[in-house]
Amino acid sequence: MASRAAIVFLAALPLVGTACTFISKSDEFSGLTGQQGKPVSFYSATRIGVNLLFFIPLIGDVTVTRAIKDMTEKVKDEGGTNVRLIQTGGTVFWFLLPPVTFIIHPALTYCSGDAEFEGPAKPVEASKG
């Protein structure tokens, strides 16, 4: 059974082989603005990769620093002027398929925060209902 799990793990390894960063955005704040009175959006970034022995990156850089860099680059590209980080963290999935994942294991890091943009806030539309 363990050899079957190892084969499945090794077959799935190329799926995370790109060390992707997934960034999501929400700008629906019911017309409210940020702390400085500017329009605000909420961003969340998750970075996925594979580590060797917990700390040695095999595929991708899954540090919190890299997740923050990816998120802030996206905010900057969209015209953001200020970023406030709300939460950061990470997980190493060493427990998925022992003993294989005791040595080689998928890992992810995440960060989330809000970004303020220059310009006037969008007016609130009256809700119907």
pLDDT value for 126: 43
Return all residues near 25 (Cβ < 8 A) that are at least 6 apart. Answer: 41, 42, 43, 44, 74
User: Is the pLDDT score of 3 beyond 70?
Assistant: no
Residue 23: pLDDT above 90? yes
Q: Are 51 and 129 in contact (CB under 8 A)?
A: no
Between β-strands 56-59 and 80-92, what pairing exists: parallel, antiparallel or unpaired?
unpaired
Cα–Cα distance measured from residue 70 to residue 97, given in angstroms and rounded to the nearest whole number: 30
Place of tokens 């998925």: 96
**Rounded average pLDDT over 11-37:** 77
What Rg, from alpha-carbon coordinates, does the chain have?
19
Interval 66-87: pLDDT, tens: 999 999 999 999 999 899 999 9
Looking at residue 123, its pLDDT comes to: 46
Residue 128 predicted with pLDDT over 50: no
Q: For the whole model, what pTM was predicted?
A: 0.74
| Burial of 87 per CB tally in 10 Å (0-12, 13-18, 19+) | exposed
Examine the pLDDT at 41 and tell me if it is beyond 90.
yes
Residue 28 near residue 121, CB atoms below 8 Å: no
pLDDT higher than 70, residue 9: no
Task: Provide mean pLDDT across the span 45-59.
Answer: 89
